[in-house]
Structure 1
Amino acid sequence: MTGHEEISDRDTQINPALFVSRSLDEIRFWSRIMKEHSLFLRLGFRCEDTQLIAEANNFYHVFEQIEQRSHAFNNQTSPEVIRKFNSEVQQAATNIFAFKRKVLGLILTCKLPGANNFPLLVDHTSREANYFRKRLIELNEGKLKPLPDAIIKENVFFLRIMADHAKFIGHLLDPSERKLVDLARNFSNDFDELVFQARDIESMSPQSKTVPLLDQFLDQNRVSVVSLKDFKKTARELIEECKIKSIIHPLLADHVFREAERFLEIIDMFERHLTGVKPRSI
């Protein structure tokens, strides 16, 4: 295939070995994320929200157990065992998605006045839960999205996640941290623009599914994600060392850093599959 040919849209069947390794990778990463979401939501509830706090605590323990159980399996585990585990985890992800949407509804109808969970943060965490559950369904069906569709859709999803992170950091820093607040705002604007560009490419599909366009798309996104990851790393270190003023939980700082790392790994994986060339280090 030359660099100017359109990429085929054939379904990609997943082989058993890849099914097992990919399933375990997704569950190990996202179960930890879901566990931490439960903690962050709990910390944002009011003292009187005892039922919501209890539900959040329950989800924390559910995903903590899932995370622990996932490490009892390995790449030699039977695909049938993993398929059953995927179904169980997918149901847990569906349940926490429903919980998050319920909380969002309560916030937007002003039934939790004085709570500290931003509506966008709750929506953000629910989008990640939905992503997780859909990924497990896709794996159990034995199919992955065709490469061009996967590249575009994954980038649309993760670019918006990165834009949200920048907004949260900017709002949770103390207003007196003017330089850092400005940096966070600039990252937010940058990633909002990248989301718009990604959606433009998505709307131009299938004509936009060419190697040169997608390769440039990945390169441009990688540069911005690396910069944001470095910013998050610095912020995490400053928070851990108590060198800046904020209401950012140290675990939240690490949480958003790990998600940026995850996005970079996905970008690099796509570039290897797209061009057969190892991505350039930045």
Structure 2
Amino acid sequence: MSLTDQFVTRSLEEIRFWSRIMKEHSLFLKLGFRCDDTQLIHEANHFYAVFEAIENKSNAFTAGTDPAVIKRFNEEVFTAVSYIWAFKRKVLGLILSCQLPGANNFPLLVDHVSREANYFRNRLAELNSGRLEPLPDAIIDENVFFLRIMADHAKFISHLLDPSERQLVEQANHFGQEFDQLLFQAKDLEQMRPQSQTIPLLDQFLDQNRVSVKSLRDFKKTARDLIEACRIKSIIHPLLADHVFREAEHFLVIIDMFEHNLTGNSA
């Protein structure tokens, strides 16, 4: 595959995945607002429509689309993501300054979704500039980002399950602690970056993370299926359960891609 083909394919993959995530973030934020937060609800509805349109537009493109067209599309999406990132940070500021008492959005959740918007925005900028990190740096940085995302998910699940679901709450708490530890290890490796370029070290790092992410992915799938079947007590929206499951699946795809690239580089 040529570099231009890779650019088109990778751009569309990122936009198709993350535009759906941004759309769903808009819904989740709206569901957490109070009924009298009409302006915030209106803004959330606006962003839902914006990213639904982006998602639909991305699905209309093909791998053979002119790279120049995709580059302009990336710029358009970058602007939209910058706006939703600013909206999320505004909401977080309102919560932290106690201007939304009684709203049902955790501050950590709002910070979490803003970090994902910033990640998406950075990915688009990197694709358009052709500026990709060296493989070892990319492996460390992506894992630092996604391990924190996975840790957050486990904590959200724990706090949104009914307290009487003791076994599931305990499992979610365990995953939260496990991914905190994995994140600390990844940050340690990040600090050792000049000495962390050896493939065996990075390969072991990915293997360890994959095992934990698969376990969390399977836990999320079970929770999603039970929620959809109305077999557990929680205040978790079924779409949120599927949302966090898909993000774990996405992380596993990234880990597999890195391992494939490491194998190619060591051959």
The alpha carbon displacement at 1:180 in A equals 0.1
Separation (CA, whole Å) in 1 of partners of 2:14 and 2:59: 12
Number of matched residues? 264
Are residue 219 (structure 1) and residue 192 (structure 2) matched?
no
Specify the alignment match of 2:85 in structure 1. Answer: 97
The one-letter amino acid of 2:157's match is: I
The one-letter amino acid of 1:42's match is: K
Specify the alignment match of 2:228 in structure 1. Answer: 240
CA-based RMSD of the aligned residues comes to: 0.9
The alpha carbon displacement at 1:144 in A equals 1.4
Specify the alignment match of 1:51 in structure 2. Answer: 39
User: For residues 45-84 of structure 1, what are the structure 2 equivalents within 5 Å?
Assistant: 45-84=33-72
Matched residue SS, 2:60? coil
Separation (CA, whole Å) in 2 of partners of 1:108 and 1:249: 24
Separation (CA, whole Å) in 1 of partners of 2:113 and 2:87: 11
**Structure 1 regions of 5+ residues with no counterpart?**
1-13, 278-282
Separation (CA, whole Å) in 2 of partners of 1:194 and 1:209: 19
Separation (CA, whole Å) in 2 of partners of 1:224 and 1:27: 27
Specify the alignment match of 1:38 in structure 2. Answer: 26
Specify the alignment match of 1:111 in structure 2. Answer: 99
- Render the CA deviation track for 1:221-246: whole Å, top value 9, x for unaligned: 00000000000000000000000000
**Structure 2 regions of 5+ residues with no counterpart?**
none
The one-letter amino acid of 1:225's match is: V
| Aligned equivalent of 2:160, options 150, 172, 178 | 172
TM-score of the superposed pair, with normalisation by structure 2: 0.98
Matched residue SS, 1:202? helix
The one-letter amino acid of 1:187's match is: F
The alpha carbon displacement at 1:276 in A equals 3.2
- Render the CA deviation track for 1:30-64: whole Å, top value 9, x for unaligned: 00000000000000000010000000000000000
Are residue 153 (structure 1) and residue 141 (structure 2) matched?
yes
Are residue 137 (structure 1) and residue 125 (structure 2) matched?
yes
The alpha carbon displacement at 1:208 in A equals 1.0
User: For residues 191-270 of structure 1, what are the structure 2 equivalents within 5 Å?
Assistant: 191-270=179-258
Separation (CA, whole Å) in 2 of partners of 1:133 and 1:74: 22
Separation (CA, whole Å) in 1 of partners of 2:193 and 2:25: 34
Moved over 2 A (4+): none
Are residue 24 (structure 1) and residue 23 (structure 2) matched?
no
% identical aligned pairs: 75
Q: Identify the range of structure 1 (127-136 vs 137-146) with the bigger mean alpha-carbon deviation.
A: 137-146
Matched residue SS, 1:198? helix
Q: Which structure's relative contact order is higher, taking Cα pairs within 8 Å and 6+ residues apart?
A: 1
Separation (CA, whole Å) in 2 of partners of 1:16 and 1:95: 28
Matched residue SS, 1:276? helix
Separation (CA, whole Å) in 1 of partners of 2:85 and 2:197: 32
Separation (CA, whole Å) in 2 of partners of 1:195 and 1:58: 34
TM-score of the superposed pair, with normalisation by structure 1: 0.93
The alpha carbon displacement at 1:143 in A equals 2.1
| Aligned equivalent of 2:262, options 274, 277, 280 | 274
